[in-house]
Amino acid sequence: MSHQAGPPQGHPVGDKVLMHVAAVLKSALDVSDQVSRIGGDEFAVMRRNVTAPDALALADHMIALIGTPFEIEGLLVSIQASAGVAMSPKDGVDTEQLFKRADIALYASKDAGKGTARLFATAMEDVFLRRERLKSEVAKALDAQEFEIEYQPVIEIATGRVCRFEALLRWNHPASGRVSPAEFIPVAEETGAIVAIGDWVIRKACLAAATWPGDVGVAVNVSVRQFEPTLPLKIAGALSDSGLNESRLEIEITESVLMQGSDESLAILHQIRSLGVRISLDDFGTGYSSLSYLQRFPFHKLKIDRSFISGTIGTSEARAIVRSVIQLGHSLGMKVTAEGVETVEQLERMRVKGCDEAQGFLFSASVPSDEVNHLILRLNNGCAAGASAAHA
Ligand code: C2E
Ligand code: CA
Ligand code: CA
């Protein structure tokens, strides 16, 4: 059984957090149990003669204990742990195999959201092995030129015209075909490969956008891992090498960038903003959506997550949330974009609520770079036809 918590490390406070966790674990265990620290913030617990449900209950109990807020040096600290459980002899007879499978179960519980415990199951091994394979392959994919960027249009609701395209990364895997970014981006973030890949996306997207009409911009997703002190320089380099005007570039970040709570990321964001580049907060409404993040940085735009527009939460509650988010954004001087607009009804609802921009399959899915100019003509002409029909 292994536990993972996420305290700051290499730091006196981090050490105290680890000591606290160790003490909490010991308090939950019997004298015959064995507990040891097996990595930076990982602990292993071994208990004999226990059933699987009891082992899982013990793991849940320890997660709850670790999750209880406590005080260190006047700071109230709260940490979340995850746990993976493996049983002997079913999952392995030697320690190495047992640890490996507990670790695989730990991965699965982290995937399910922190603060949970999972029992090892064989199906988890397949997911784990695929992920391990992707880890090594994603590192080589950039040099092997297996990546491609597609572009999805964003429409200004008032005029019906294309105002921007979002750059969406595609991986043409030689054996597995297209691998979804939802699967490989987290892997590339974990290994750090996203930094080089992300640089390439920024450069390539700016070069492409420089060939589009001057009133059409480009939005690029930037991961939290890319927030290094050199990021503003890289962005400035991509702009000057492509000749793209800075006002046509938009960077999309998620709350995770601000959640780290580091002043460094905030300073980097301000530097990017001072280049004249626009910055939007992506997937708003998922994650923590803490309003304090909106206070920490002056975003140009909020993108409402598609689960509120076309997802299963198409309920009256979701509509109330969307209405409030649009009002909130506007009162803070931000534009608001609705993601995942799939039907005319959804678009009309957004128009009535005063939403500024819309993106989704109703207009187009993402298209390869060489189809962008044609798509602009088609969508803009469609809106002109709509306007003249309204006049007639
Ligand atoms: P995202 O930033 O929220 O991107 C929008 C996703 O919604 C895209 O999925 C897009 O294809 C999909 N989508 C657009 N319109 C609709 C619609 O009407 N209905 C539905 N159901 N889906 C729609 P995609 O391309 O699979 O990308 C998934 C995620 O991968 C992105 O979510 C983004 O977080 C990440 N990603 C993609 N490209 C990059 C990149 O270059 N860098 C980084 N860091 N992340 C990227
Ligand atoms: Ca995005
Ligand atoms: Ca999004």
For CATH 3.20.20.450, the residue range(s) in the chain are 133-391
Q: pLDDT below 70 — which residues of the chain?
A: 1-12, 260-261, 287-290, 311-314, 383-392
> Ramachandran region of residue 151, left (φ > 0), alpha (ψ -120 to 50) or beta?
beta
Choose one of 147, 155, 168 to mutate for the ligand 1 pocket test, by most ligand atoms within 8 angstroms of C-beta. 168
Domain with residues 133-391, CATH architecture: Alpha-Beta Barrel (3.20)
Instruction: Tell how far the Cα of 339 is from the centroid of ligand 1, in angstroms.
Output: 10
pLDDT tens readout for residues 261-281: 678 899 999 999 999 999 999
> Ramachandran region of residue 113, left (φ > 0), alpha (ψ -120 to 50) or beta?
left
Nearest CA to ligand 1 atom 12: 340
pLDDT tens readout for residues 7-42: 444 456 778 888 888 898 889 899 899 998 888 788
Please name which of 77, 71, 84, 75 lies closest in space to residue 114, comparing C-alpha atoms: 84
Q: Residue 390: what pLDDT?
A: 43
Instruction: Tell how far the Cα of 168 is from the centroid of ligand 1, in angstroms.
Output: 6
Q: Residue 11: what pLDDT?
A: 59
CATH of 2-120, one of 3.10.129.10, 3.40.50.10310, 1.10.520.10, 3.30.70.270: 3.30.70.270
Ligand 1 pocket residues where CB is under 6 Å: 152, 167-169, 180-182, 185, 198, 201, 221-223, 282-283, 306, 310, 340-342, 359-361, 366
Q: Residue 289: what pLDDT?
A: 63
For CATH 3.30.70.270, the residue range(s) in the chain are 2-120
